[in-house]
Amino acid sequence: LTILYISNNYIGPAGAIALSEALAGMTALTELDISINQIGDAGAEALATALQGNTTLTTLEINMNKIGPAGAEALAKALTDNTTLIILNIFRNNIGDVGAQALAGALASNATLTKIDISINDIGPEGAKAFAKALGIGGNITLTILNISGNQIGPEGAKAFAEALGI
């Protein structure tokens, strides 16, 4: 099995933990969509642990799962070690500025991610500034797509991106 779409099944944290334990030993799975399953921070933390040892997963979809800052922080920690994940879609959760700052911080050492979707996550100016800094001059050069739509970055966040991008 190389691709598993298991979204919208309400597996909860317990299901995410079980899948994470299996993921740690899987050598063929490249894509996992576990969206709309109410996995919360506990499920995200379990997935993060699995990501640290997994060497095949390239795409992780964990959208609409009630993931908060703690789950995002755990994922960020995993991204500093993981060298295979290229797409992380974590839209419509509630990671806020704290989670966004953690994910942005992971970009300093992650050289494989090319796309992150953090849209609709209650991210304000501080989270936007962290991503702008991570992607600015001398920052991460592998990320090519960042979706931060539907947040509240305001003029302050927009200005940070403008400065980072040299606009």
pLDDT value at 10 more than 70: yes
Q: Quick one: tokens of 26?
A: 């899987």
Q: Give the residue-averaged pLDDT of 37-44.
A: 98
pLDDT confidence band for 45 (50 / 70 / 90):
very high
Instruction: Tell me the pLDDT tens digit for each residue of 15-26.
Output: 999 999 998 788
The three-state secondary structure class of 140 is coil
Q: Give the residue-averaged pLDDT of 92-114.
A: 96
pLDDT confidence band for 115 (50 / 70 / 90):
very high
Give the per-residue pLDDT at 25.
Answer: 81
User: Contact, 25 vs 54, CB < 8 A?
Assistant: no
Average per-residue pLDDT for the chain: 96
Give the per-residue pLDDT at 167.
Answer: 66
Q: Give the residue-averaged pLDDT of 132-139.
A: 90
Give the per-residue pLDDT at 41.
Answer: 98
CA distance 21 to 167: 45
Cβ neighbors of 41 (< 8 A, separation 6 or more) are: 67, 68, 70, 71, 74
Other Cβ atoms less than 10 A from the Cβ of 108: the count is 12
pLDDT confidence band for 166 (50 / 70 / 90):
confident
Give the per-residue pLDDT at 154.
Answer: 98
pLDDT confidence band for 44 (50 / 70 / 90):
very high
CA distance 134 to 21: 31
